[in-house]
Structure formats: structure tokens, C-alpha cells
Amino acid sequence: MSELSISSDGRDDPAAFRAKVAAGEAGGADTIWIANHLFLRDPAVLGALTLSQTQRLKVALMAISPLTQHPVQIAMAVATLAEQFPGRVKLCLGVGAPADLAAAGIDGAKPLRAMREALQLVRALLSGETVTFQGETFRVDHRRLAPLGAGIPIVLAASGPQMLELAGAEADGVLISAGASVPFVQQTLKSVARGAKGRNIKTSGLVYASVDDDATRANDRVRRILAILLRGAHHRANLDLAGSVLDQAALNAAVIAEDWATAEAMIGDDIVARHAASGTPELLHRRLADYHASGLDEIVIAGVRGCAQIEAILKTPRRNA
Amino acid sequence: MSELSISSDGRDDPAAFRAKVAAGEAGGADTIWIANHLFLRDPAVLGALTLSQTQRLKVALMAISPLTQHPVQIAMAVATLAEQFPGRVKLCLGVGAPADLAAAGIDGAKPLRAMREALQLVRALLSGETVTFQGETFRVDHRRLAPLGAGIPIVLAASGPQMLELAGAEADGVLISAGASVPFVQQTLKSVARGAKGRNIKTSGLVYASVDDDATRANDRVRRILAILLRGAHHRANLDLAGSVLDQAALNAAVIAEDWATAEAMIGDDIVARHAASGTPELLHRRLADYHASGLDEIVIAGVRGCAQIEAILKTPRRNA
Amino acid sequence: MSELSISSDGRDDPAAFRAKVAAGEAGGADTIWIANHLFLRDPAVLGALTLSQTQRLKVALMAISPLTQHPVQIAMAVATLAEQFPGRVKLCLGVGAPADLAAAGIDGAKPLRAMREALQLVRALLSGETVTFQGETFRVDHRRLAPLGAGIPIVLAASGPQMLELAGAEADGVLISAGASVPFVQQTLKSVARGAKGRNIKTSGLVYASVDDDATRANDRVRRILAILLRGAHHRANLDLAGSVLDQAALNAAVIAEDWATAEAMIGDDIVARHAASGTPELLHRRLADYHASGLDEIVIAGVRGCAQIEAILKTPRRNA
Amino acid sequence: MSELSISSDGRDDPAAFRAKVAAGEAGGADTIWIANHLFLRDPAVLGALTLSQTQRLKVALMAISPLTQHPVQIAMAVATLAEQFPGRVKLCLGVGAPADLAAAGIDGAKPLRAMREALQLVRALLSGETVTFQGETFRVDHRRLAPLGAGIPIVLAASGPQMLELAGAEADGVLISAGASVPFVQQTLKSVARGAKGRNIKTSGLVYASVDDDATRANDRVRRILAILLRGAHHRANLDLAGSVLDQAALNAAVIAEDWATAEAMIGDDIVARHAASGTPELLHRRLADYHASGLDEIVIAGVRGCAQIEAILKTPRRNA
């Protein structure tokens, strides 16, 4: 069975975040992936709190962007955390959401080189060796990181083919965004494999999840987040591969107008069935198994509010596993 | 009596850091100032651990640099922390040590404008309002910070006259570097006052401290860190004002050669007496009183290893206070 | 609106307990009442963990028995806890379940005098004064408790009329057992009032609770615990006052035989409706309001497993409050 | 090298206790032994706090008395703790100080049978099996402990020959009181060996410790606690074996009169040298080595206030080890 993990997108308030962490620890989640969306909550701080309140749950900081934090700062934060809680910390690098970068006046147009350099530089620093690095974007001159960071896995959050290949070629793991249909996951992993050339790399995927004895009610909970997500032009191939018929332009207009009735109505049960893991416990179990079979080592459930859903979802796969 | 606080420079290993925090909490320190020196430990992570293991001690993140982290990330981290531990978090912005910035390939030559913009932008974000900010270095377009950051004091770490004036004009507090003699503190605070134009601004100063029943042994503990510090050209005025005779070029050569016997020999008891708070408990108490009388609201003891010294120093001022 | 609190009966495993605590903190529960059932988990240990992982939630240790721990030990434990977490700790004294006491070879037949002495002795010790106490069961000769325990409320878990009068006369609060119908709560509080003679005393009651959009499913969750509880002869008056028709002998036989189908079938929806707070959110809200109107200042929801139910129940009363 | 552990006697206030724990964790102490002196602080509560604030340090609850807590409660507390922090908890049973028991009106005159039964009953309960136990003092009828307690070592605090033999015969370890001279430790361990008949049993001993570059000043710190301790008639053999000349009657009179000048003057450097581990770092190291050579597997330093001494003492043995 694949690993099952949970996530927080930085919108959980303090008490809700602590409740989610406790539900994840209680339910046997492998890792909590804590997001770094600009203007929301900070994952290094939340990761430190998580680790000091649990005994077992791991923490992945995702997706830390070298466009908003210097790789030396990134290495400092993750190594400080791992030194205090050995074996329980992962780093996931990623560019960040284009709209968020734009709102902070940051040019995220051509991130590939910066990302490759950040990956190499952070990895070198975490090794504990004295580092001299001469990149085009980042440089370090003969310095060594003080906190012990050896052994921290570095994962790359990737969606475009070049970033996926970079993950395959140089990272310890890859993280695929939410909303991907099973055929799209398979195509995505082919890009990773092209880069990996036989290297072993761990594959993780964010999957919006919802469970309810009433399948429609389960689906209702994920329609809006799918609407916000799938309107993006870069989801065309994902939709087409899955056979999902969706007027992205109309959906985008409804989302921008905050006309949620229209937007959610466009995300029918067939769309949910292809782009999330939602429904009765049996349906959820089957969907998670499908994602696993498509090549994901770790499924990171996302888009979930409240410990009730966390608890119910973490229970599900063990029913029939 | 002025507030007495402690600090960590990022060199304390995990257990030593936790012991220092516990000694500070036990000894009644007001705040632990946690440094952000490049390549050392991360203050946001350490701050989160500190707050989750204490009931009272406050945390100041110092000095967070907009040259290595985007102000949006800075605001996210400090607000996430303060939201979890209301009333116990301060932010101290600062450029960072020139040598560290250089080693990370970062140009820190003209930081004043970036610092002013960062101060204004972080403050705007922490207010919780929707922010549109059009600086030359930083921009934000109509976004609001999710975690609650209202009321977090923003302190500026400053040494040059312009930065000190900026602190006086726009920050909630100013932090003066270690090694300053009392006359230099007084001169420094004049620059702050010029900027403040009557505004009330809290003044804090890092002071290397050491205590022992044998004054020479106390002084021995701070000679090396004073040697490393005072060799810098920017300490000329500080030395001259204090009447300290020191061949900075020779000292610098000894430090670079790691010839500690020579370097430490150049930091005689007279230099220690003027640029640190060191000696017997009585001497320490008098020095802290002098720094207080020079205008510092809060003395942040620095350069201290081990809980024994923390414990002894925190006890001292109350003997005769 | 009355306070809403949660409870743990000592059966929650470590992860489930932490998840329950987090859900209580997140959902705004006032207090977690942690039980001291013999052979299950220890409330002082769990209370210390709870307080160190939350910022706000209070802890009540219930029901600590002077038949199994000397009042000096009881005072030590609760004061040690309160000294570390001021204002967040309550002590609830109680005899303990007769069957548990019997299984541990303890005679709990006439506990009234021991309980009165324990209440007086613990209160004297918590005051911080030097205590000399000459009871028939307990004695202390001129000693003072070291940890600071002043201000800790002492609640008495009571069901018989004499114990209820004792609570009214001498305790800071009274805790009524689960399963009480509203008319029985009212009768119970009359006994407390007889003892109180106008003193103000806080009234708290354990109430089995369950919520579900399908009322029958909600009720299903509490049938077994009600069966185990209501078969006891001391519940006759409670049943009669509520108009509940129940063959206690037959129920007892089914429970002893672990014939849960039969036992649960005897706890029909009408019994649940009178002796628990269960059903749809609207029904639950109404039941909680009824218990409140019957004179309870604080309702302590009990018999709940999993953070999902905690979360849902804590949400309910605010819908229409 | 023998293990080095620390202890708290229940007199440390909350902040001092946390500082001691942090210093122990930082300094590599194996275990913190937390005392259960009547009227002082509660070790189960402090143990829970310790374990939730450290990653490595073990906790031993000492000496939990079956005269003040029923063995079922004792098993509940230690198993609840160990279940949350596996592998980090030990239980030390002991009668308690006669004067404290007397002040609480408890008859501790003939504790041997109760202790043997408590040891057997607690061990049976911690095994996780269903227990039926028919002792003269304690009984349990077919019940099983819910929290997982398997593998928790049970140590017996012992000084009289019969209790030492019982420890040898039935416990996992023995704890010897403070103040014992090396010859007395050797004689004591012979009693343990008589009971053990070849069984392996871990030996731990409390040792008052103090360190200072000035040996007299080190000794000054332990004179009063040695005076209070060694006046007792049961220390006659200990004193005689060590060749220590001490007028116990006169010492007792001085202690009762709180005439500390006289009492401390009676504890000369020769007495300290034989009944504690005190002096310069070199002397301390040698004394710890002597105790180790006398047969102690673990030395538990006692009588220490403040993290400075903890830090200094934990450093010492590694100098020459």
C-alpha cells in the first residue's frame, strides 16, 4: 500500500492546524506537507510546532521558493529543524504560484535555472561540507552550514516537462500538484522517468480528497477548489487526457466573478470522479488505489478542512487494504 | 531598572539552545533575541521551539534581512509565530553582516532604501489590511496577509547614522550592536533621536557579558569575541570615543591568522572594561547600570555560552537593584 | 449559554487522546475532564501532557479518590500541575466506581466521612498555609505544601443525596454523572441546594452526546454505553422520573452476557432521547439547551470517540445560540 | 564509565525545574530521577512535562510509595507515561521518609510485606496480562491494565538489609540513598547480592555532588544537606565503616535548633570527602570513579541547585574518562 499523508495549505487557523496535526498523528499519516503560499502561513514555523507536539509524524516544507528566500536561508531553516528532530524533516522546493509571485512583484517566468542552482546549492550546504558554488543566480564562497542537515530528502514540486525532468535527474523526490487525473499522473511520471534515466526517485502526489456515506455530499466539498484549480490553461492536457469536458473560459469567468453556484455546477460528479478522490469510503479507497497503481508512492490528501474528514479519510484505505 | 534579555547567535547546538532557553525562562529574562547569521541556525524555527517550551519568555527574530528573504516571507513567518503565541513575538530587521552577505554573493552595499521599503511593507502587511505597495525594490499588489500579525513590534538593527535615523523615524525600536562603549551608545542614540523627532522608540543594545568571582577569568571569556569584533574599521569611532587604544590592523592580522594568543592579548582588561559588561558580580552590575543610564531600555546579553553564565548573569542585577 | 466541555474516560490511546485534545482546543471547549477509572489511564499524567500542548483548554482531574491515593498525594499532584499552568487546573474528587474499587480489593461502602475529610484536607493544603488536621481517616501534623495551589477549584463528583449535600455545603462545584434525565438533574440539584444553603456552587454534568444528520445513526453510537450505565439499580429513580420504561434486570443480564444486540435493542430512541443528548444537530442543540435550563452551568460531553464527533458536537450549540 | 544521571527532590520551582531538565538534556545525563517527597512536588506530573520537553532524557519516578498510593494507581501512572514516551520511563518504588509518613499520619513501621506485594502486583499489571492477585495488603480480581506498560524497569529504593535483599531478589534495579560512603555502598551491595543469588540487577546510587575550582567552596554547598542527613541513627554503620567521626546527637540537636553554623561546622571537609562527591573537577571525577568502582552502574547526582552546577558536574567525568 502506498503511504498516505496529509497537508495544510496555510489557511488553517492556529487551533485548526493543531487539530489537523493531532488527527494526522492519531490516524497514522506518514507526513504533513505544509505549504508556503505567499501571504498565507509560514511552513517552517508550523513545522517546528508540529514536530514539537508529535512523536512520529514527519514534516515536509512545500514548496519553498528560491525566488523569495535565498537558498542559504532555505538550507538554514530546514537543517535547523532536522537537527532538532532528526529523520522527520523533508524539503520540497518549488517556484510558487504564478499569481502569488506576480502579486509580490516577483518575476517567475523562467525559473528553471534558478531552481536547478537552488537544488544543487541547498544539497551541497546540507551535506555539511564547505561549499563553493558559482551559479548564475546564486553563489557561495567557501562556507559551511552550521546545523546538521545530512540526510534531508529534497523533493521538487513540478508540473512542466522540464521541471519534471529536473526532478527526475537531480532530486530525491517529486511532488505532483493536485487535480491531476490518473492518465495525467502517468504522463507526468514519464517526464520524471526521462530525467531519472533509471535513478530511483520517490513520487508523491497531492490529491483533493473527501469522504461521506453520501457520495454527492462528499463531492460537494471539493467542487469549489476543483473549479478554482481546473480553470487554468495549463490543466488543458490533464482534462483532455482524462476525457473531462469542461469549458475553462466560462469556468474562469465564473470564478473571477465569485459566482460559485455557476462554477460549482460546472464541476459535475464526473469531473470530481476523475480529478479527485471523493465519495463513499469504498469509492475513496478505490480512487486512492488507482492513484497508487498509476505510480505514486505517496498520496498527500489535500483540500481537507477539519479533523473529522482527516480522521475519516485516514481510516478508509485500511478497511479493504 | 532596564529590562534584561538574552540572545543566541545561532551557534548553540540543539541541547545547548534548549538549556539556554530554560535558563532564561528560569532567570526571568524578558526576551531571547535569536540571530539570523547566514550559514548558522534559523531564528524562526528556533523561535517556534522556544515559544512552545516556555510560558513567558518572549522571542525576537534578529536580524531578518530583506536582502535574503522577501518581505512577504518575513511577514508570513513572524505573523504565523505571533498568531500562535500572541504578545510574545518581536521582529528585528537588519541588513546582515557584510562578510556573510558577500560569502553568499549578495550585494549589501546600499541597503538603506531596501530596508526602508521592507520596514514599511512588513508593517503594512502585519496590520492585516489589504496592501498595495509600490516601492523601487519591493511591490505588493492588493493582497492581505492571512495570519494575524497586528501589534508585533518592528525593531531595526542599526549602526550607521542613516540607518539609526531611519529606526528613529519609522521603527518601534532600535537594536544596537555589541561592543559599543557607553559614550558610543550615547552618540548612537543621538542619531536615533534625530530621526525620531520626539517619537517614543524603545532602545535595546547587545552587550557581551561575563561574570566570575575572579574578574580576570570573567574577562578571559570575552577577549576573543571582542577581538573578532573590534578589529573592524567601523569600530574606530567607538574605540576613540571610549579612549580605547587598539591597533586594529595588527588585531585584524592576528584574527585572520587565527593567532588567538596574540589577538586575545591585545584585548586587555581596560578594553574589556569599556566594551563589555564583565567581571565580578559587582562589576557586572555596575556596568549594566552604566549602559542603562546611557539610555538603553533593554540590555541584551550576548556572547554567552552555557546555562551557568546565563544563570549567574541574570541573577546579578537584582543583588543591588 | 452554558459552558461546553469535553472528557476522556481513560480509554483513548495516546494518539487518539492527543487528537481529542486538539479538537477540543480548536473547537473552543472550556475544559477537558480526564477520568481516573482504575486500571485505565492516569489523569494527572494526561493532564500535564494536555496543558503542555495547548494554550487555552483547561484540565479537570476527575474523579480522584481518597480511597486509592492519600489526600497529601492528591494535593501534591494538582498543585504541581497548577503551579506550572496557573488558572487552568481543577480537581474533582470522587469515590470511584464500586465495581472498580471491589476489583482492587478496596472497601468503598461508606465513603462519606473519608470524602469530607479529604475535601477539607486537600483544600487546607492547597491554601499554602501550614496545616494541622486531625480527622478519623486522615491526619496531617503541621506541614505545608511546597507547590503553589491557591485558587484551584475543588469539585465533588456526587450522586447520592448525602454526597450531593456535602458538595453543596463544602465544595466549589459539583459534577453529576452521565445518563441523568432532565428531571433527575433537577432533583439532584435540589440536594445540592439543600447543602449549599444559599452558597453559590458551580454545577457541571456529564452528558453522553452524539450527532449525525441521521438521528438513528447518532443514537446507535450511544446505545451500548447507556445500556451498560442504566442497568444499575441506582438509576431506578432517574428512569422513573423521566418516564423511561426499562427492564433493568433483563438489561443487566444481557450486558453481563455481552449480548449487545439484545442490550442495545432495549435502549430505544425514546430512552436515548431522555438520557443523552443525541440526534441531528438541531436535536442535539435542543437537548443541550434543556440540560442547561435544568440548572447545569457546564455540560461535559462524554462517551465520544474520535475527533470528528468532538468537532461536530462543539460546533452545534453555536448554530442557534 | 558508569551512567551519570541527575535528580530533582521536588523543591525546584517550575522555572528552575525546567532549567534543570534542559541542562540535563544538554549535558547528556541519562535519566532525571524525580522524587516523591510528601508535601513537595509530584513526580508523575513533572515527569510528563520533562518527557514532552526533551527528546532523549529518561525519567525515573522515585520513590513511589504503596503506603500513599494504591499499586493500581501507581501502575496506571507509570504506564500512561511510558505509553506516551516508550522506552524513556522507569518506576522506583520506596516506602518514603519516616518523618514525612508520620506527618501524614501513615504507619510506615513494617513496610516489607506491603512493598513486596506492591512490587509483584505492579509488575503483573505492567505486563498487560489479566491479573488476579491475592496479597495480604493488596488484592486485584481479574483485571487488566489498559495502557501499555510492558518493559518498564521497576527499581526498589532500599537501605535496610531486608529491603536490599528484596530488591536483589525481585526488582530490576536498586537505588541506594545519598550520603553513603564507598565502604557502605560495598556493604549495601552485598545485601543486594544475597537476594539476587546471581540474577543481574542494575545498581544506582544517589550521590550529593558539588564542583568548584575552590574545593572548600564546593564543600560548603553540601554541608547543610549532609548535616540534615547524617544525624540519623541509621547512618551510624555508614559513618563507622567510612571512619567518619561525628557526634550524631549533637548534630541532631543543632539541626533541630536550626543552628546551621554549628551544624555545618560539624561537617568538615573530611566528612564531605567520604560521604559526597565534591571538590575541584579533578576531585569530583575521582570520587565518581570511586563510587563506580564500588559497584554502582549509575550515579545519580543529588543535592544540586541551579543549572550551573548541573552543567559543570555533567562535564567533569568526561575530562579524564
Determine the pLDDT at residue B317: 58
Determine the pLDDT at residue A320: 39
- For cell 470522479, name the residue: A273
Q: Is D7 strand, coil or helix?
A: strand
Determine the pLDDT at residue A321: 38
For residue B312, list chain D residues with Cβ-Cβ distance below 8 A: 308
| Whether C22 contacts chain B with CB within 8 A | no
**Amino acid, res. C27:** G
Digit-coded pLDDT (tens) for D106-143 = 998 889 999 999 999 999 999 999 999 999 999 999 99
Establish if D72 belongs to a structural domain: yes
Using CA coordinates, name the residue in chain D closest to A53. D52
Q: Is B308 strand, coil or helix?
A: helix
Digit-coded pLDDT (tens) for B59-115 = 999 999 999 999 999 999 999 999 999 999 999 999 999 999 999 999 988 899 999
Establish if A231 belongs to a structural domain: no
**Amino acid, res. B27:** G
The DSSP H or E segment spanning C18 is helix C14-27
Determine the pLDDT at residue C135: 97
Are residues A19 and A314 in contact, defined by beta-carbon separation less than 8 angstroms?
A: no
Kindly give, in sequence order, each residue whose CB lies less than 8 Å from that of residue C276, ignoring residues fewer than 6 positions away.
C179, C207, C208, C209, C210, C219, C222, C226, C287, C303
Average pLDDT over residues B53-63: 94
Digit-coded pLDDT (tens) for A59-75 = 999 999 999 999 999 99
Establish if C262 belongs to a structural domain: no
Digit-coded pLDDT (tens) for D273-299 = 999 999 999 999 999 999 999 999 999
Neighbouring CB atoms inside 10 A of D318's CB total: 12
Check residue B39 and give left, alpha or beta (phi > 0: left; psi -120 to 50: alpha): left
Q: How many CA atoms lie within 13 A of B137 on its CB side?
A: 20
The alpha-carbon radius of gyration of chain B (Å, integer) is 19
Establish if C48 belongs to a structural domain: yes
Using CA coordinates, name the residue in chain C closest to A28. C15
Q: What angle do CA D222, D29, D39 make, to 5 degrees?
A: 55
Establish if B252 belongs to a structural domain: no
Q: Chain D: nearest CA to B207, how far in angstroms?
A: 21
Terminal-to-terminal C-alpha distance of chain B: 7
Rounded Cα distance between B233 and B252, Å, is 10
Q: Chain A: nearest CA to B292, how far in angstroms?
A: 34
Average pLDDT over residues C231-252: 96
Check residue A291 and give left, alpha or beta (phi > 0: left; psi -120 to 50: alpha): alpha
Using CA coordinates, name the residue in chain C closest to A52. C53
Determine the pLDDT at residue B321: 38
Using CA coordinates, name the residue in chain A closest to D85. A55
| Whether A148 contacts chain D with CB within 8 A | no
Digit-coded pLDDT (tens) for D147-178 = 999 999 999 999 999 999 999 999 999 999 99
Establish if B269 belongs to a structural domain: no
Determine the pLDDT at residue B4: 96
Terminal-to-terminal C-alpha distance of chain C: 7
| Whether A53 contacts chain B with CB within 8 A | yes
Determine the pLDDT at residue B160: 93
For residue D85, list chain A residues with Cβ-Cβ distance below 8 A: 55
Digit-coded pLDDT (tens) for B133-174 = 999 999 999 999 999 999 999 999 999 999 999 999 999 999
| Whether C305 contacts chain A with CB within 8 A | no
Q: Chain B: nearest CA to C140, how far in angstroms?
A: 32
For residue A22, list chain C residues with Cβ-Cβ distance below 8 A: 15, 18-23, 307
Among candidates C21, C308, C309 on the partner chain, residue whose Cβ is nearest the Cβ of A22: C21
Q: Chain D: nearest CA to A131, how far in angstroms?
A: 29
Establish if A134 belongs to a structural domain: yes
Could you list the residue range(s) of the whole structural domain that residue A120 is in? 3-209+277-319
For residue A18, list chain C residues with Cβ-Cβ distance below 8 A: 22, 25-26, 53-54
Among candidates B15, B28, B307 on the partner chain, residue whose Cβ is nearest the Cβ of D307: B307
What is each CA distance from B122 to B276, C127, D83, D138, in whole angstroms?
Answer: 33, 48, 45, 66
CATH of the domain at D190: 3.20.20.30
Average pLDDT over residues A172-179: 98
Nearest Cα neighbor of D64 from D92, D89, D38 is: D92
Kindly give, in sequence order, each residue whose CB lies less than 8 Å from that of residue B254, ignoring residues fewer than 6 positions away.
B227, B260, B262, B263, B266
Are residues C8 and C60 in contact, defined by beta-carbon separation less than 8 angstroms?
A: no
Establish if A294 belongs to a structural domain: yes
The DSSP H or E segment spanning D147 is none
| Whether C289 contacts chain A with CB within 8 A | no
Check residue C303 and give left, alpha or beta (phi > 0: left; psi -120 to 50: alpha): left
Cell, residue A274: 476523475
For residue B45, list chain A residues with Cβ-Cβ distance below 8 A: 44-45, 47-48, 77, 80-81, 84
Q: What angle do CA B37, B43, B47 make, to 5 degrees?
A: 160
Whether this model's pTM surpasses 0.95? no
| Whether D87 contacts chain A with CB within 8 A | no
Using CA coordinates, name the residue in chain A closest to D84. A55
What is each CA distance from C117 to B157, C77, C159, in whole angstroms?
Answer: 61, 18, 18
For residue C85, list chain B residues with Cβ-Cβ distance below 8 A: 55
Kindly give, in sequence order, each residue whose CB lies less than 8 Å from that of residue A285, ignoring residues fewer than 6 positions away.
A316, A317, A319, A320, A321
Using CA coordinates, name the residue in chain C closest to B83. C55
| Number of domains, chain A | 1
For residue C212, list chain A residues with Cβ-Cβ distance below 8 A: none
